[in-house]
């Protein structure tokens, strides 16, 4: 059939049968995938961690003295109270009646009110002291049948002292030497069944002057131990006259050497 068609008509038909060439895309045309902005998933914002608590302030390191004692001692510059108890030997230095050796004990309380140069403290002390001297003596008595017998009994001399003293203490780390002086009142009591002493007064009350000193050592937790020496002078001592006419002094001066245990706070 195609062979029978004229050539001009055949050419027209072939031209219509070929597809038209595609028009070129515009220069600025890009694939949608390229032009669309890329959506990048951002990771979820992480929660900020809570701030860590601040550590507590560091405590100051204990001093060598506190480490040894396990407890801070009261500062020398601060007022403090002290309670103490002492006991020891007592000696009669002046007096015409034996015995010359006895014993004594003394509770006391002390208040420190001032500090000078961070080492010297001033205080006031109130104390009570009991002294006793005792000796076995032999006396003769006649029984109901008129027979002379020897009986052993005791002669005793005792004192009750009340005193108020001013104190000065030097603080040398654990060592605390001190001195004190003051006034007080002494109550003396003498008891002796011997005939020659029957005329001696058995009681007396006299003013008292005192001087004392010692050294204390801090042992920890406010406790101290010490060695104390105290001299007590009874003013206006009474004299007694024996049946033989001899004048004697029964109530004399005394010296105490005592060990003490104290607690201050």
Mean local confidence (pLDDT), 68-78 = 53
Mean local confidence (pLDDT), 80-106 = 91
**Which carries the bigger pLDDT value, residue 53 or residue 104?**
104
Counting residues of the chain whose pLDDT is more than 90, the rounded percentage is 42
The answer to whether residue 209 scores a pLDDT higher than 90 is yes
Counting residues of the chain whose pLDDT is more than 70, the rounded percentage is 68
**Which carries the bigger pLDDT value, residue 99 or residue 41?**
99
Domain ranges of the chain: 76-185+199-264
**Which carries the bigger pLDDT value, residue 41 or residue 171?**
171
**Which carries the bigger pLDDT value, residue 94 or residue 42?**
94
The answer to whether residue 246 scores a pLDDT higher than 90 is no
**Which carries the bigger pLDDT value, residue 73 or residue 244?**
244
**Which carries the bigger pLDDT value, residue 168 or residue 2?**
168
**Which carries the bigger pLDDT value, residue 47 or residue 49?**
49
The answer to whether residue 63 scores a pLDDT higher than 60 is no
- Residues 169/125, Cβ–Cβ less than 8 Å: no
The least confident of 38-42, 212-216, 251-255 is 38-42
pLDDT confidence band for 172 (50 / 70 / 90): very high
The answer to whether residue 217 scores a pLDDT higher than 80 is yes
Q: Which two tokens stand for residue 89?
A: 């030997």
Q: Supply the pLDDT for residue 105.
A: 96
Three-class SS of the chain: CHHHCCHHHHHHHHHHHCCCCCCCCCCCCCCHHHHCCCCCCCCCCCCCCCCCCCCCCCCCCCCHHHHHHCCCCCCCCCCEEEEEEEEEEEEECCCCCCCCEEEEEEEEEEEEEEEECCCEEEEEEEEEEEEEEEEEEEEEEECCCCCEEEEEEEEEEEEEEEEEEEEEEECECCEEEEEEEEEEEEEEEEECCCHHHCCCCCEEEEEEEEEEEEEEEEEECCEEEEEEEEEEEECCCCCEECCCCCEECCCCCEEEEEEEEEEEC
Per-residue pLDDT of 177-194, as tens digits, reads 999 999 999 999 988 887
Mean local confidence (pLDDT), 48-56 = 64
Q: Supply the pLDDT for residue 2.
A: 47
Mean pLDDT, the chain, integer: 79
Q: Supply the pLDDT for residue 8.
A: 57
43: burial class by Cβ within 10 Å (0-12, 13-18, 19+)?
exposed
Is domain 76-185+199-264 classified as CATH 2.40.160.20? yes
Q: Supply the pLDDT for residue 67.
A: 46
d(CA 190, CA 201): 7
Mean local confidence (pLDDT), 21-45 = 49
**Which carries the bigger pLDDT value, residue 33 or residue 47?**
47
The answer to whether residue 43 scores a pLDDT higher than 70 is no
């Amino acid at each position: 059939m195609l062979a029978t068609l004229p050539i001009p008509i055949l050419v027209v038909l072939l031209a219509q049968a070929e597809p038209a060439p595609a028009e070129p895309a515009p220069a600025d045309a890009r694939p949608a995938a390229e032009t669309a902005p890329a959506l990048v998933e951002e990771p979820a914002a992480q929660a900020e961690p809570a701030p860590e608590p601040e550590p507590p302030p560091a405590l100051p390191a204990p001093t060598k003295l506190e480490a040894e004692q396990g407890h801070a001692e009261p500062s020398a510059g601060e007022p403090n109270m002290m309670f103490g108890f002492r006991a020891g030997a007592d000696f009669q230095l002046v007096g015409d009646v034996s015995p010359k050796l006895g014993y004594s004990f003394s509770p006391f309380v002390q208040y420190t009110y001032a500090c000078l140069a961070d080492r010297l403290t001033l205080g006031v002390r109130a104390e009570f002291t009991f002294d006793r001297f005792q000796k076995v003596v032999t006396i003769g008595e006649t029984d109901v049948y008129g027979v002379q017998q020897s009986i052993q009994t005791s002669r005793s001399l005792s004192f009750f002292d009340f005193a108020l003293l001013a104190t000065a203490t030097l603080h040398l780390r654990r060592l605390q030497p001190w001195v004190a002086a003051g006034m007080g009142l002494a109550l003396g009591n003498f008891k002796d069944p011997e005939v020659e002493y029957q005329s001696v007064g058995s009681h007396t009350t006299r003013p008292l002057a005192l001087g004392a000193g010692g050294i204390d050592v801090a042992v920890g937790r406010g406790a101290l131990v010490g060695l104390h020496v105290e001299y007590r002078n009874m003013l206006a001592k009474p004299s007694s006259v024996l049946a033989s006419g001899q004048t004697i002094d029964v109530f004399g001066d005394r010296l105490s050497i005592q060990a003490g245990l104290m607690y201050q706070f």
